[in-house]
């Protein structure tokens, strides 16, 4: 690949420290990726009244897009381990006066989720996608056939070195490990049906989609 891989498991301690520093400016920093977020939410094909898990919801940037599709009769469950990021999400919910958003401050692997949701979104959460316990906890709380969409950074083909330089720069500011950036979706792919992946943003990002097994 165009950049070295660091073979280590994601570590929550540096991730929490990193997002403590970034919480107030996070929305501005990820603004260039918002078109990918919009396409990922659209790929969920949500219906009014649906319940959706926003896994690693951060400051709640996906909430407006999700709420637009599920309406006031649906529910959003945002899971985020960083209290600083979740505080920004909480303020967003208050400003919008949404009453159908539940925020869970927890590592995803240990999150307590009531019932079963109709869909799950993993956006810009590389560390979570490399954590099998986190993925399994989410999938246990989805209905059979529920759509699951993941999007984020990935290494482009080696000859696309400008894209890989961009991926490396962005990853160093957003993940605790570069492990798995070649195929960040592979742990999900082993667990889902009707799985597909498409490259976007010049090969520097991906959108993957599949269905929870029956």
In a domain, 214, yes or no: no
pTM for the model: 0.91
In a domain, 3, yes or no: no
Give how many domains the chain has, as a whole number. 1
In a domain, 6, yes or no: no
User: pLDDT tens digits for 162-195?
Assistant: 999 999 998 888 888 899 999 999 999 999 999 9
Of 31 and 41, the one with more pLDDT: 41
Host domain of residue 91:
12-209
In a domain, 191, yes or no: yes
Q: Taking residues 128-156, report their average pLDDT.
A: 97
In a domain, 1, yes or no: no
Kindly report the CATH number assigned to the domain that includes residue 52: 3.40.50.150
In a domain, 103, yes or no: yes
- What's the chain's average pLDDT? 91
Return the axis-axis angle of helices 83-96 and 63-70, rounded to nearest 10°: 40
Helix (H) or strand (E) holding 206: strand 205-211
User: 19 and 26 in contact (C-beta within 8 Å)?
Assistant: yes
In a domain, 42, yes or no: yes
In a domain, 142, yes or no: yes
């Amino acid at each position: 690949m165009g950049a070295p891989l660091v073979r280590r498991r994601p570590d929550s301690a540096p991730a929490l420290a990193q997002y403590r520093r970034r919480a107030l400016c996070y929305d501005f920093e990820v603004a260039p990726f918002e078109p990918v977020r919009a396409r990922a939410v659209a790929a969920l094909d949500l219906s009014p009244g649906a319940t959706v898990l926003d896994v690693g919801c951060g400051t709640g940037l996906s909430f407006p897009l999700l709420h637009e599709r599920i309406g006031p009769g649906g529910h959003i469950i945002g899971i985020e381990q960083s209290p600083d990021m979740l505080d920004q999400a909480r303020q967003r919910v208050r400003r919008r006066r949404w009453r159908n958003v539940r925020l869970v401050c927890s590592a995803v692997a240990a999150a307590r989720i009531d019932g079963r949701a109709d869909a799950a979104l993993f956006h810009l959460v590389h560390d979570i996608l490399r954590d099998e316990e986190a993925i399994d906890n989410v999938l246990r709380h989805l209905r059979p056939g529920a759509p699951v969409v993941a999007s984020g950074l990935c290494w482009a083909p080696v000859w696309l070195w400008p894209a890989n330089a961009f991926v490396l720069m962005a990853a160093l500011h957003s993940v605790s490990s570069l492990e798995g950036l070649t195929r960040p979706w592979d742990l999900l792919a082993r667990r889902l049906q009707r799985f597909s992946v498409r490259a976007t943003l010049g090969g520097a990002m991906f959108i993957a989609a599949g269905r929870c097994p029956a």
